[in-house]
Structure 1
Amino acid sequence: MNLEDFHAELQNTVNARAAVDNDYTSMAFMAEVSERFAEAGEVENFTVLQFEGSGQRNRKLSVNAYDLDDADESVSLAVLLHSSSDSIDVVSATEAKKRLTALENFLTEAVSGQFTIGREESSAAYQLAEDLHRRGRAVARYRLYLITNGRLSDRMKGVPSSELNGVPIDFHLWDLQRLHQVQESQQGREALEINLTKWVPEGLAILEICGDSSDFATYMAAVPGALVADLYAQFGSRLLEGNVRSFLSGRGKVNKGIKTTILSEPEMFMAYNNGITATATGLVRSSDGLRATSLTDLQIVNGGQTTASLFYVARENGNSSVLSDVFVPMKLVVVDPEKAVELVPKISRFANSQNRVSEADFFSNSPFHIRIEELSRRQLVPARPGVSYQTKWYYERTRGQYLNERNKLATIDANKFVATHPRSQVFTKTDAARYVVSWDQRPHVVSAGAQKNFVAFAESVAKIWETSNDEINGQYFRDLVAKAIMYEEIRSSVAKADWYDKGYLANIVTYTM
């Protein structure tokens, strides 16, 4: 799919969402991007809100989404630059910087306590500002996002990081091209590009221990603890493979044994610690082949607790020099990008076998989702009155699957495909999780965000799958669709209700169901 087709499809999806939710197209766009960010592991749980106003000395203030609950104690805020044009607008560097400045102004006044003076206490922006003020310096990093459905000007090369009260502020620019690249990527997320020479100028010493396979090569390394801590500080939970991130979020900050070793016997850390297992889809080595200088799409698939603990110990002591004598054993598996979608979840599953991680937890390629996908392609919906054909509910196991399947077909066949699989009858893994967990009378879990709800869904599926996977059959799928119909009907009714005042839609719907 080219950029123009992606833009048209995205606009259509957003317009449909705005109509169903009785919301502004800009907010529907932000909600759509929020879901895509969650699936891509960029930001786990953006909450959408609308605030435009003025602050001290008449400065422009703006915020359109926030996430305060990342496992790495970072705070993410977003601001929109949205156009309803049918063509792709070019966003100038000046426009982009103005919007980011308005967002940074909001953050500054919220943290200082200035924002809440004289404002309505019941507003979502007031409550967000109160929360930011209470947290003070107990934040690892602020991540400020500019999100636009336009294309950023080539002159917009990036925005230098800054800080607020000693807390780093990073700026992230997401335009239509970047959203398109993520959808088109095989992994469904943006690959991290890590230049190791920033931390180890000569490169990280590595030993290749298995390189016979064309699909992967395995290396061993002793990684400086400060490098691991700094990577986590910079990239946060994006560095962790999805399931590792989920497990880490439910645990304490620092493993006491790790902390004791770092502070009392740092030179023994290598001997005492099991280390980390990581994957990458690309590796650049020095000319002699003995050192790694950069990695593409690094993902820690085992050792998330070790990684986070190193970061928190360094933070508690004010800098990473406390880790100067700490080295972490690492097994690095570099996989072929074409095979990554298949291999990385398997490597993660077997690396975490001591935690008894269920098959159902490793989602896109798990047997459960493959079966649901197969069932969705076979199960017919009763024909509607006056219509001579039956349709199907299409289960999108991976982001973009529906469009990719449609776009491979010639025009006549594509039209037949859409008639058989209407866009209104397409649902994703995260949709299924909302439907099932809401029906199971756990709306507080649904309200906790897509990632936490997804883990709860995985656990409920695992119990069924491990006792009798034959129960995941045609009747299970029909029940799932029935829950989807109920959930979406409630959502549509609430959005159009006279009393609904644009906010907390997802929460109202799940509690109503």
Structure 2
Amino acid sequence: MAIEIQEFYEDLKSQLDIAAGSEGQFLENQFSDYYSEYVMGSGDLDGFENCYIKMRGVKVNGYFFSGDDGVLNLITSDFRNTNNIESLTNTDISEGFKRLASFYDQSSNGRMLDKLEETSDAYELADLIFDLRDSILRVRLFVFSDAVLTKQFKQIPDKNLGGVLVTHSIWDLGRLHRLALSSREREDIEINIGESGYSIHCLPVPSG
């Protein structure tokens, strides 16, 4: 039986509370980790490193750089942890992407380094972007959210930032729920060859 989205949301919150308590992690960091596992499983993200940065006009929750194809992935989390599921509006989405783009822009030109403590994870990420600025060919911006995308959502077009292509990907609660359902449905499909009366004949494998 399919799990309704409200039930899925409540289960998500429970898992986050348990995981955050056992691992001593900031709840929003745990949320980012949880979502990243699903997104990586879908193939939309190759990896994830938790890195929390929040200051005026900037917010980052994680990243992953793929050196093979020169792609930098930057993730921000719109984490609300409310009792009832809320709507993810165009304004929310635009603000999330804007904060990520600002961090990338200021890191690639070196200005962000002057605003961060040298011992922080944030500084390490900003320094990485600055060092790799000539190797980054594409930037993928992600918004993870435990809210549901509004029906009035307007697709955000790709853009060019300092000669680098910037794309946008949104993972709201609705998308995560659909992915979880499709994964569960695939796991529930069982074919009993014996009971169906069919047999499978193995083909000989060529030698040499």
TM-score class normalised by the smaller sequence: 0.7 to 0.9
Quick one: which of 105, 109, 112 aligns to 2:106?
109
> Would you say the 8 A contact 1:63–1:79 is kept in 2?
yes
How many angstroms apart in 2 are the aligned matches of 1:125 and 1:37? 23
> Would you say the 8 A contact 1:44–1:67 is kept in 2?
yes
- Secondary structure of the residue aligned to 2:152 is coil
Q: Deviation of residue 116 (structure 1)?
A: 0.3
1:11 matches 2:13? yes
Q: How does 1:297-316 map to 2 (within 5 A)?
A: none
> Would you say the 8 A contact 1:40–1:188 is kept in 2?
no
Q: Deviation of residue 186 (structure 1)?
A: 4.2
Name the structure 2 match of 1:156: 153
Name the structure 1 match of 2:194: none
Name the structure 2 match of 1:74: 71
Q: Deviation of residue 165 (structure 1)?
A: 2.1
How many angstroms apart in 1 are the aligned matches of 2:134 and 2:182? 36
Quick one: which of 35, 38, 43 aligns to 2:37?
35
How many angstroms apart in 1 are the aligned matches of 2:171 and 2:49? 17
1:92 matches 2:124? no
Q: Deviation of residue 174 (structure 1)?
A: 0.8
Using structure 1 for the length normalisation, give the TM-score.
Answer: 0.35
Matched residue type, 1:139:
I
1:181 matches 2:183? no
- Secondary structure of the residue aligned to 1:117 is helix
1:131 matches 2:128? yes
Name the structure 1 match of 2:119: 122
Matched residue type, 1:167:
V
> Would you say the 8 A contact 1:80–1:147 is kept in 2?
yes
- Runs of 4+ aligned residues of structure 1 deviating over 3 Å after TM superposition are 186-189
Q: Deviation of residue 38 (structure 1)?
A: 2.4
Distance change in 2, residues 1:111/1:8 (3 Å): same
Name the structure 1 match of 2:25: 23
How many angstroms apart in 2 are the aligned matches of 1:188 and 1:174? 20
> Would you say the 8 A contact 2:116–2:122 is kept in 1?
no
**RCO comparison, higher one (Cα < 8 Å, 6+):** 2
Deviation by residue 1:15-36 (Cα, 9 ceiling, x = unmatched):
1111112122211110111222
The total of aligned residue pairs comes to: 187
How many angstroms apart in 1 are the aligned matches of 2:116 and 2:157? 32
In terms of fraction of residues, the more helix-rich structure is 1
In the alignment, structure 2 segments of 5+ residues that lack a partner are 191-208
How many angstroms apart in 1 are the aligned matches of 2:79 and 2:105? 24
Distance change in 2, residues 1:86/1:70 (3 Å): farther
Matched residue type, 1:98:
E
How many angstroms apart in 1 are the aligned matches of 2:119 and 2:33? 22
Q: Deviation of residue 162 (structure 1)?
A: 0.7
How many angstroms apart in 1 are the aligned matches of 2:144 and 2:159? 19
Name the structure 2 match of 1:500: none
Q: Deviation of residue 143 (structure 1)?
A: 0.3
- Secondary structure of the residue aligned to 1:144 is strand
Quick one: which of 45, 48, 52 aligns to 2:47?
45
- Secondary structure of the residue aligned to 1:68 is strand
Q: How does 1:459-474 map to 2 (within 5 A)?
A: none
Q: Deviation of residue 117 (structure 1)?
A: 1.3
Q: Which has the larger radius of gyration?
A: 1
How many angstroms apart in 2 are the aligned matches of 1:38 and 1:94? 26
How many angstroms apart in 2 are the aligned matches of 1:125 and 1:150? 26
Q: How does 1:125-274 map to 2 (within 5 A)?
A: 125-186=122-183
How many angstroms apart in 2 are the aligned matches of 1:88 and 1:96? 16
- Secondary structure of the residue aligned to 2:59 is strand
Q: How does 1:302-341 map to 2 (within 5 A)?
A: none
Deviation by residue 1:287-319 (Cα, 9 ceiling, x = unmatched):
xxxxxxxxxxxxxxxxxxxxxxxxxxxxxxxxx
Q: Deviation of residue 95 (structure 1)?
A: 1.8
How many angstroms apart in 1 are the aligned matches of 2:67 and 2:5? 31
Q: Deviation of residue 7 (structure 1)?
A: 0.8
> Would you say the 8 A contact 1:44–1:70 is kept in 2?
no
> Would you say the 8 A contact 1:137–1:165 is kept in 2?
no
> Would you say the 8 A contact 2:86–2:148 is kept in 1?
yes
Matched residue type, 1:114:
R
